[in-house]
Amino acid sequence: MKIFDFPGVLYSDRLFHDNMTQAHTVISDDSIRKSAKEIFETSEFRQEETAYLFQKWLNKMGDLLDSFQDWTAAHPAYTWLLIAGLMIILILLIAHIVYSAFGDSLGGATETSHPYKANRSLEVLEGKATSWRQGFDKANSALASDQSHEAIWIGHRVLLGWLDEAGSIHFQGHKTNTAYLIELGPQDARFDLLNRFTRKYEAVVYGNGSCDTEEIRSLLDELMDRMQESS
């Protein structure tokens, strides 16, 4: 007995014909790329990829450690030399960090007991003047010539050099203005003067504030009075 899906065509024949038609359907490259991209962009795939890469990295590190362990077992003398070298490097690194952090405060007491070199002002003022007095004269001349940038720079350096001579700070060209304020500390009677000089210096030099020549002149006069009182 034959079963027909519709008159004249067997149901089994129609199924075979449909399957053959689907089998010969051509899928475009764009469709394949789009499907692959959608798969790669899924969160599941990304998580699996990350886990795979991390596991691969762990395996590599494990292999390196195993190789190093085999090498140390085969060369015990070289192993001890390597350990000694690493310990020396570590000690030097720690010493450098400690000196960088506390060198100024630890060395401040000894530095104040030794006379400063005659060219200290020349160093602090970067050759613009050979003494604090000459520095004041040049700062006032610059101010009279409307060179506020030069005037406040020299005045600020004279103040830092004076504090350095007193042992209150340790002048170094690479230090920031904030570092000098922290080093001097608010408990010092000259902190307010340094703070006002610093704020004016940054306002003039970095161009983010007003350039009041009278205020600069007032700061220079106050600094000169302070230095004369302490001498």
**Looking at the predicted structure, is the pLDDT value of residue 110 above 50?**
no
Poorest-pLDDT segment among 48-62, 105-119, 185-199: 105-119
Give residue 206's pLDDT: 81
69-83 pLDDT per residue, tens = 889 888 888 989 999
Read off the pLDDT of residues 203-231 as tens digits, 9 standing for 90 and up. Answer: 888 875 556 789 999 999 999 999 888 87
| Residue 26 pLDDT | 57
Terminal C-alpha separation, the chain? 129
Task: Give the domain ranges of the chain.
Answer: 31-74, 75-114, 120-230
Q: 89 pLDDT exceeds 70?
A: yes
pLDDT confidence of residue 175: 87
Q: Which whole-number Å values give the CA distances from 220 to 21, 131, 133, 151, in the listed order? A: 97, 15, 11, 9
Write down the pLDDT at residue 2: 45
pTM for the full model? 0.49
Is residue 200 within 8 Å of residue 170, measured between CB atoms?
no
